[in-house]
Amino acid sequence: MHSLIDELQWRGMIQDIMPGTKEQLDKEMTTAYIGFDPTADSLHIGHMLPILGLMRFQRAGHRPIAVVGGATGMIGDPKKTEERALLSEDDLQKNV
77 CB burial (10 A radius; 0-12, 13-18, 19+): exposed
Whole-prediction pTM: 0.73
Distance CA 74, CA 71 (A): 5
Q: Is 84 left (phi over 0), alpha (psi -120 to 50) or beta?
A: beta
Q: For 15-65, write each residue's pLDDT tens digit.
A: 999 999 999 999 999 999 998 888 788 888 888 889 999 999 999 999 999
